[in-house]
């Protein structure tokens, strides 16, 4: 075993040695390249359609992309102050954070605890769910503030499930995702039962803002970097949020808002091109959609998000095993490869990260995970296929970012991105940057410098903690608005201040305007 790893390390993005590959496999690689490569002209036409679909989502008629107004109005200044709680309800954990925003611009201190989300809770009753969450918050406060007499602490709640919001302190769950299936919650406002559970236990907390993790990513990143204009998630799913002027949102016209007021829009852009007009879907993408729980929905997400990359890869390999003229893995038991969703994005990451010239790590991974022994030519095909799927994901993802930049006429800006694919998938950042360069026709970087090395006009950077710091900041911004009497999109402004430090007119909790 050990001797195999003395092979020379390969260059990270080398195509590998194609010289000793049989002709039929070479033709197959060429076919896959044609199938999965998105050229510059196609990127531009996708971006152009994306731009018009973003506008359609803001229109009175609406479109496939929901473009949900979040009632988070405007960016932080970096001068917000005070102590805020954040609650992040994920599929496996519940995270509670206490965030202190000090006097220093763009700084924050954070303490946090994680609580396991018991599996039985996901299919239990609504009372059990809200009761458990309130118990965790109570435990957190008792541990960190033992014996203290507390004012009510404002809470930002990251509730990353599809919800519609007429107010920032309200949210109607459209449908459960992430394995939750609790009766009597869908179609209802989640805030009253959550607050009732807190009240019942006497927990000194006031829900100030219900937010989506993508909006939190935008706000947290903008707090520490004033060039941030877009927040993105590239992970199991995909999404983006950005600031839009109320005057450019026809579906809010009836509210007579100040046309220059900015409001964060949670795009929910996984639904882009549900009509199948523009995205270059292969026969494999069509199978993924057809066999998914909601065929015809989330078309963009199914081509770029982490949840589907491994499945695409599996479907292609299975197809190549079954077609007579190629027959990869001939004479081997491929039953493990026949199991849907048995390979995830990290499987592809590992293949792309294999540093050895003879792809020995990939060979071992296939043998261990799937019981398949690959030949050298098969390994080269596998490596190329992983590169093609990973590259297509990054390039299509860039179309959404470019569409927002064109819509808002951002010539330069930073984009804060989070999610497992962005953070862990090899070359995702570089491939996305290359696609932006092609779509937006850059020939030089900022100040005439060469592209790359931080000089790209639009740069996608790792985001700040959206579901923690972002949620707390949105709670701070919302309280600040109530103090200033700007109460649009807030259902219970008086109740929001009641019992909190911010209720005191002399309070410095959240920033006075003059500090800008």
Cite the active site residues: 160, 175, 213
Provide the token pair at 377.
Answer: 């030519």
Do the bridges between strand 172-173 and strand 228-234 make them parallel or antiparallel, or are there none, so unpaired? unpaired
Indicate if the alpha-carbon torsion angle 152, 157, 163, 164 is positive or negative. Answer: positive
Helix (H) or strand (E) holding 306: helix 306-322
DSSP state of 226: T
Cβ pair 299, 89 in contact under 8 A: no
Cβ pair 88, 213 in contact under 8 A: yes
Cβ pair 183, 126 in contact under 8 A: yes
Indicate if the alpha-carbon torsion angle 212, 214, 215, 216 is positive or negative. Answer: positive
Indicate if the alpha-carbon torsion angle 446, 452, 457, 461 is positive or negative. Answer: negative
Cβ pair 490, 496 in contact under 8 A: yes
**In angstroms, rounded to a whole number, what is the distance separating the alpha carbons of residues 320 and 503?**
66
Among 108, 102, 207, 103, which residue's Cα sits nearest to residue 158? 207
Cβ pair 421, 393 in contact under 8 A: yes
**In angstroms, rounded to a whole number, what is the distance separating the alpha carbons of residues 43 and 91?**
34
Query: Directed axis angle between helix 306-322 and helix 345-353, to 10°?
Result: 80
Provide the token pair at 193.
Answer: 């039962």
Indicate if the alpha-carbon torsion angle 72, 74, 76, 81 is positive or negative. Answer: negative
Cβ pair 239, 269 in contact under 8 A: yes
Residues 6+ apart with CB under 8 A from 181: 122, 123
The Cα-based distances of 512 to 153, 206, 505 in angstroms read: 19, 21, 11
Cβ pair 154, 206 in contact under 8 A: yes
Site of tokens 């010289």: 19
Cβ pair 500, 151 in contact under 8 A: yes
Among 321, 310, 299, 393, which residue's Cα sits nearest to residue 344? 310
Helix (H) or strand (E) holding 99: strand 93-101
Reduced to 3 states (helix: H, G, I; strand: E, B; else coil), residue 9 is strand
**In angstroms, rounded to a whole number, what is the distance separating the alpha carbons of residues 501 and 74?**
23
**In angstroms, rounded to a whole number, what is the distance separating the alpha carbons of residues 471 and 462?**
17
């Amino acid at each position: 075993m050990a001797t195999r790893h003395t092979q020379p390390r390969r260059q990270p993005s080398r195509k590998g040695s194609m010289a000793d590959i049989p002709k039929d496999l070479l033709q197959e690689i060429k076919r896959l390249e044609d199938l999965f490569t998105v050229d510059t002209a196609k990127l531009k036409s996708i971006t152009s359609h994306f731009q018009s679909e973003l506008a359609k989502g803001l229109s009175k008629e609406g479109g496939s992309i929901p473009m949900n107004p979040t009632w988070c109005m405007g960016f932080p200044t970096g001068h917000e102050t005070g102590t805020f709680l954040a609650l992040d309800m994920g599929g496996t954990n519940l995270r509670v954070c206490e965030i202190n925003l000090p006097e220093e611009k763009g700084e924050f201190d954070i303490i946090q605890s994680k609580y396991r989300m018991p599996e039985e809770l996901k299919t239990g009753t609504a009372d059990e769910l809200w009761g458990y969450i309130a118990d965790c918050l109570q435990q957190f406060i008792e541990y960190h503030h033992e014996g203290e007499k507390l004012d009510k602490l404002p809470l930002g709640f990251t509730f990353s499930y599809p919800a519609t919001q007429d107010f920032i302190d309200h949210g109607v769950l459209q449908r459960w995702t992430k394995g939750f299936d609790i009766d009597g919650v869908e179609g209802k406002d989640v805030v009253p039962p959550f607050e009732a559970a807190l009240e019942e236990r006497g927990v000194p907390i006031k829900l100030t803002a219900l937010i989506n993790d993508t909006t939190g990513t935008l706000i947290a990143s903008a707090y520490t970097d004033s060039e941030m204009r877009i927040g993105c998630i590239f992970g199991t799913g995909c999404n983006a949020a950005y600031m839009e002027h109320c005057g450019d949102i026809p579906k809010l016209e009836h509210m007579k808002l100040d046309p220059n007021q900015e409001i964060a829009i949670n795009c929910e852009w996984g639904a882009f091109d549900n009509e199948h007009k523009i995205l270059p879907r292969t026969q494999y993408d069509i199978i993924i959609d057809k066999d998914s729980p909601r065929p015809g929905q989330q078309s963009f997400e199914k081509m770029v998000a982490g949840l589907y990359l491994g499945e695409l890869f599996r479907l292609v390999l299975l197809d190549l095993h079954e077609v007579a003229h190629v027959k990869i893995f001939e004479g081997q038991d491929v039953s493990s490869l026949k199991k849907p969703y048995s390979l995830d994005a990290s499987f592809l990451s590992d293949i792309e990260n294999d540093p050895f010239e003879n792809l020995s790590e990939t060979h071992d991974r296939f043998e261990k995970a799937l019981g398949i022994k690959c030949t050298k030519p098969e390994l080269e095909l596998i490596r190329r296929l992983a590169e093609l799927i990973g590259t297509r994901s990054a390039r299509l993802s860039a179309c959404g970012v470019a569409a927002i930049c064109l819509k808002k006429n951002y010539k330069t800006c930073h984009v804060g991105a989070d999610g497992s694919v962005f953070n862990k998938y090899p070359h995702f950042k570089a491939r996305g940057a290359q696609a932006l360069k092609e779509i937006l026709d850059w020939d030089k970087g900022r100040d005439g410098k060469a592209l790359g090395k931080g000089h790209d006009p639009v740069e996608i950077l790792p985001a700040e903690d959206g579901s923690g710091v972002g949620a707390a900041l949105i709670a701070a911004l919302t309280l600040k608005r109530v103090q200033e009497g700007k109460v649009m999109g807030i259902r219970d402004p008086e109740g929001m201040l009641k019992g909190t430090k911010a209720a005191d007119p002399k309070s410095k909790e959240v920033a006075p305007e003059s500090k800008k």
